[in-house]
Amino acid sequence: MPATCDLLHLRNVIKSAKLDPDIQPVIVALFHQYDFLEINRERGKLTYQDFLELLDWVTSQKDIHIRTIDQTTNVIDDLSASRYINYNSYRKLSYLIPPILPSLSKLYFNGIYLSSNTAHNIKIKCWILILALYLTILMVSIIIPFFGGSIVLPDGGLLTSLFRYGSIALLVFFSSYVLRDLELGYKGAMVIVVLLGASIGIWRSSLKTKNNAI
């Protein structure tokens, strides 16, 4: 079972688990000795007293069951490799959805080890949302430079070439930087889509201007 959250986020994750469509949502909290301020003042995140208060709060939640990993494997039915694959795929997709959209909060169950079926179903919804969101951003990013370029860019010349090839250079540079560790979040994805749309819009605008000039 993968670790799903740390101690600082455990309260919010438990509250989110109460809204989880899963019948048996699983939370695996990971922490180390250096997470305590008494042990490491630089890396520590909470005091030992904070930890005791957190444990008291967790145990006071009547619908929360605290179990060892061995006990969990005997109680939870779906702990297969399929569950981990679907859960991991869903987590990666959820990073592409901006968290500033409160109406989409039902798609966010970060910190909870979702069952295979639930993760699969939410993954499909995430794909639909991501395609709609980024296609919209792409279209807007094409339209604005396309019409703006018709006004700003002259009929050919050095400035037009600078915009055309500069947009491609920026797209390649930022794409290489964002994808350097093969991890893509919503900020990086939005930058790439906007630059891609801008490049398409600028090139289409310059070609239109050139054809009109002919």
Q: What is the pLDDT of residues 129-185, one digit of tens each?
A: 889 999 999 999 988 887 776 666 655 566 667 777 787 888 888 888 878 777 788
Q: Are residues 142 and 209 in the same domain?
A: yes
Reading the block at residue 136, the tokens are 């919209």
- The overall average pLDDT reported for the chain is 82
Domain contains 190: yes
Q: Would the CA dihedral through 80, 82, 83, 84 be positive or negative?
A: positive
Domain closes at, from 125, 142, 158 = 125
Q: Are residues 203 and 100 in the same domain?
A: no
Reading the block at residue 86, the tokens are 């679907």
Q: Are residues 147 and 47 in the same domain?
A: no
Reading the block at residue 35, the tokens are 């997470």
Domains: count for the chain: 2
Three state DSSP letters for the chain: CCCCECHHHHHHHHHHHCCCCCCCCECCECCCHHHECCCCCCCCCECHHHHHHHHHHHHHCCCCCCCCHHHHHHHCCCCCHHHHHHHHHHHHHHCCCCCCCHHHHHHCCCCCECCHHHHHHHHHHHHHHHHHHHHHHHHHHHHHHHHHHHHHCCCCCHHHHHHHHHHHHHHHHHHHHHCCCCCCCHHHHHHHHHHHHHHHHHHHHHHHHHHHHC
Q: Are residues 13 and 108 in the same domain?
A: yes
Domain closes at, from 125, 145, 161 = 125
List pLDDT tens digits, range 34-80: 999 999 999 999 999 999 999 999 999 988 888 888 888 888 888 88
pTM for the full model?
Answer: 0.69
Q: Are residues 120 and 135 in the same domain?
A: no
Q: Are residues 163 and 86 in the same domain?
A: no
Q: Are residues 148 and 107 in the same domain?
A: no
Beta bridge partners of 46: 36
Q: Would the CA dihedral through 150, 153, 156, 161 be positive or negative?
A: negative
Q: Are residues 181 and 134 in the same domain?
A: yes
**Residue 116: which domain range?**
7-125
The stretch 178-195 carries a mean pLDDT of 84
Domain contains 66: yes
Q: Are residues 147 and 90 in the same domain?
A: no
Domain closes at, from 84, 99, 125 = 125
Domain contains 1: no
Domain contains 2: no
